[in-house]
A and B are shown apart, each in its own frame.
Chain A
Amino acid sequence: MAENQNILTAKDFKSDQEVRWCPGCGDHAIMNAIQRALPELEIPKEKFAFISGIGCSSRFPYYMNTYGFHSIHGRASAIASGVKVANPDLSVWQITGDGDALAIGGNHFIHVVRRNVDINIILFNNEIYGLTKGQYSPTSKFGAITKTSPYGTVEHPFHPGELVIGAQGKFFARSIDNNLKLSQKIFVESARHKGASVVEVLQNCVIYNDKTHAALTDREHKEDRTIILEHGEPMIFGKNKDKGLILDADNMRLKVVELGTDYTEKDILVHNAENENPGIHLMLANMRYPEYPVAFGVIRNVKARTYDQSIQEQIEMIQSDSSIKNVDDLLRSGTTWKI
């Protein structure tokens, strides 16, 4: 966008609708980060389409001054797939939550990832059903006490990254609502990735699941409990940059080590988000506090053919070879006879 009047700002993406999320909800920050990321993409505003399902986060499209579709529970992946295949020129974003994407929409979610439709899926993970007022979700921690699990859940939670990689996902990143800068940077990268990109944003529900991610946001300790991965950089973290990750090959697992006498920077794993083999990516995505730091940043970013691109190419190829050019040709193709 060379011309000045076409340069967009975050403000251009705000709609005239009153934002109705609870005060203090993590959704506000995530929306701010997206609104700041979009101008960086240098895509005309009319080419964005935001598609959502049902849930608190799914109200998102109403607040964006772009094309938007607030659909039905769980089905945003399917609707977004249709939008993208119909018009591959659009930048299609799916806004979803842990219930919408991983419970009622679990099937569509894994299939959109498997097909690698070029959609940016932003998964707001607050580990709770907010809009229905506090029931456990498929990502609630084992034993979580909620309105439908007064004695604690007896279900093992889904880990979105594990699911994405299991579904042959090519892009998975993680951020957290209160780190706007990091989120903004990841959103830009996810949008630029061609294919289904999933960004899990850990989000706080102030009303029904407050402080569920508190261990990772605590000012004093957050740098020791999280690691921000950068492609090509060693996996070092901690307030004093004194910890790192190595591969404990004997046990085929990652291990946290202190930098100093036993280990130096050259022993530390270097992050390769572009590695096609998802082994390390899966280990990184599955790191959980307190045993490990929780990984933020782009964990996996691998190039692959997209569904929308393949379908387009197939049509072009078949069309150039076919003698059927219109419906009149079609109706007269095959066996016909005259009377």
Chain B
Amino acid sequence: MSKKADAIEKEDVVIRFSGDSGDGMQLTGTLFSDTSAFIGNDLSTFPDYPAEIRAPQGTIGGVSGFQVHVGKTKVKTPGDYADILVAMNPAALKANAKWVKDGGTIILDEDSFDERGLKKAGFKTDDPIKEDKLDRFNIIKAPISSLTKEALKDMGLDPKSILRSKNMFALGMVFWIFDRPLNYTEDFFESKFKKKPLVIEANKKVLHAGYNYAETKEHMTPSYNVSPAEIDKGTYRNINGNIATAWGFIAAAEKANLKLFCGSYPITPATEILQELSARKDLGVKTFQAEDEIAGICTSIGASFAGDLAVTTTSGPGLALKSEAIGLAVMTELPLVIVDVQRGGPSTGLPTKPEQSDLMQALYGRNGESPVVAIAASSPSNCFHYAFVAAKIAVEHMTPVILLTDGFIANGSEPWKIPDMAEYPSIKPPIVKEVKEDWKPYAREVEKLARTWAIPGTKGLEHRVGGLEKDELKGSVSHDPLNHQKMVNIREEKVQRVNKFIPKLEVEGEDSGSLLVVGWGGTYGHLVTAVNQLQDDGKKISLAHFNYIKPLPENTAEVFSKFDKIVVCENNMGQFANYLRMTNPEFKYLQYNKVQGLPFTIVELVEHFQKLLEE
């Protein structure tokens, strides 16, 4: 591909593909992302799809979108607003035009803008551009459906299959705009449709047709160039948060020399973790798709008792159902990781939209004094690291750990420099292998306060565990008041002591200044991008982003003490801010909250921080 002479050089570009949920927009976006990654761009993606599998065709409710942000510099979010929107039908235009930058480009499939399509999308006139005041954008009306039909007319395919490949026409156009090679996508067709040569040929034909169409319409199509990013040397792959989570657990099991067991129940947006683990029988993973959320966690608790590294995966409503069983794991002091891929709530809420509103549920949503370790991943790829860490803490400290991710990082993807397992730390489960004279099931190691793990099948270590309060050494049932107080203290202390084994809180930017932005979990990309922008403008602003929630890093108060103002930013009503008020009451916490089922935008963050800096 020759470089186009008049291409506009860009630092970064955001593209949003949108269409009906059957239009293949997720695949189109993924293929564009893959090609961009291969040629060396950094990128971040976010799929935005409806909760219904096939909402009525052509309606706003059925619009599925995929946003990708590619850059020659480090890209940390999928971007606020798109430079280019591909809208395969009127509903996609209606739903997504608000996410396009002023002056941006919108590519439409004009064939779908007939009377019926416009009506279904809720347009009242036959001129959607005028009606929705879209003339501030560069609108490219392309007859995508009819040109796709034309390109495939002699191939003997049925009309349905022909129309199904129109997304490749759109992809071809976008490839031309960004001067991207087609060969990676062609390779994908070859391997995906190995046994269907006709389908391979048809897809290639349509892809080229789209590319060539954009070239012939050069005068009206913008042309961009986004050079490769400066990225560390190494081998890379694209990964989303759910796959990274699954793999992090497999890695932990390998390091701990334990079998991995996942008892779970499908729930959006966490299901993909169970699916991936089910496919990993090659690495000995045992999955148990249970009859409900409760059985999901209970099979895992059973597996943990029997000596496996046990995890269970869910989202908010499922975490609620699992709460009694989490208490059982607290009481029996068995290792267990519970993943909560957060979504909008309460109740069924917004199943496909991200939110951070399960924090209090994770920390306190159980009967009794029931402390667990809570940690949060903050990017798609670091889900691998935090899943690994969660498993390491669970096993070495003999405690349940709740790992919080969210729909945004779980479904979002980014290039990931593949780590070498030799560089990952070891995991040492406190398994007792033989009888020692004075062994007691609830006797503890002094530093971590972890009890030992005597696995059924080990001769001479027969013992009983259960949900009734335990004698502090023997683990037998005890209703003694002072023993109960002691055990309550020990369980809390055991969790608190985890902070001797986790890294200190790091500050992005100067470690003192006017404003400290505080965040946790999946908002990292947006917060750091906004903070970096203001730092570049010379503002005294820094970011402290938390991955370890309970216990908090040891130096939390020290970090907070060096700033004039602290603002806690969350996609909830202030749950982390309130937790900080309880744990570190000596500081004043301002809040910035957004609960719309959407991530922050960098624009709104920068604006708000600027205001706080000026006040």
**Residue positions of A touching B, CB distance < 8 A:** 15, 17, 44-47, 49, 51, 54, 61-62, 64-72, 75, 77-87, 89-90, 107-108, 111, 311, 314-315, 318-319, 321-322, 324-328, 330-332, 334-339
Contacts and interface: CB of A to CB of B under 8 A. Distances in A.
Given A68-B464, A72-B325, 4 more contacts: A17-B476, A82-B306, A321-B282, A339-B236
Contact of B250 (A82, A87, A327): A327
Contacts of B306: 49, 82-84, 86-87, 90
Given A83-B305, A108-B291, A337 B299 contact: no
Nearest to B474: A16
B300 interface: yes
B283 A330 contact: yes
Contact of B300 (A47, A82, A89): A82
Contacts of B263: 78, 82
Interface in B489-531: none
Contacts of A49: 305-306, 456
A322 B306 CA distance: 27
B420 interface: yes
Contact of A107 (B38, B251, B282, B291): B291
A66 B328 contact: no
A339 B463 CA distance: 54
Given A319-B282, A339-B232, A85 B459 contact: no
B457 A326 contact: no
A338 B303 contact: no
Nearest to B420: A328
B237 interface: yes
A62 B464 contact: yes
Interface string B282-295: 11101010111011
B302 A80 contact: yes
B307 interface: yes
Interface size class of chain B, counting residues whose CB lies under 8 Å from the partner chain:
35 or more
Given A78-B295, A86-B302, A87-B456, A327 B463 contact: no
Nearest to A70: B466
A332 B418 CA distance: 7
B468 interface: yes
Q: Which of A46, A319, A325, A327 has the most CB of B within 10 A?
A: A327
A338 B465 CA distance: 50
A78 B300 CA distance: 9
Contacts of A339: 40, 231-234, 236
Given A79-B302, A327-B254, A334-B237, A86 B307 contact: yes
B308 A69 contact: no
A26 B612 CA distance: 72
Contacts of A314: 281
A324 B466 contact: no
B466 A62 contact: yes
B458 interface: yes
B270 interface: no
Contacts of B464: 15, 61-62, 64, 67-70
A5 to B, nearest CB: 13
B348 interface: no
B609 interface: no
A318 B456 contact: no
Contacts of B234: 338-339
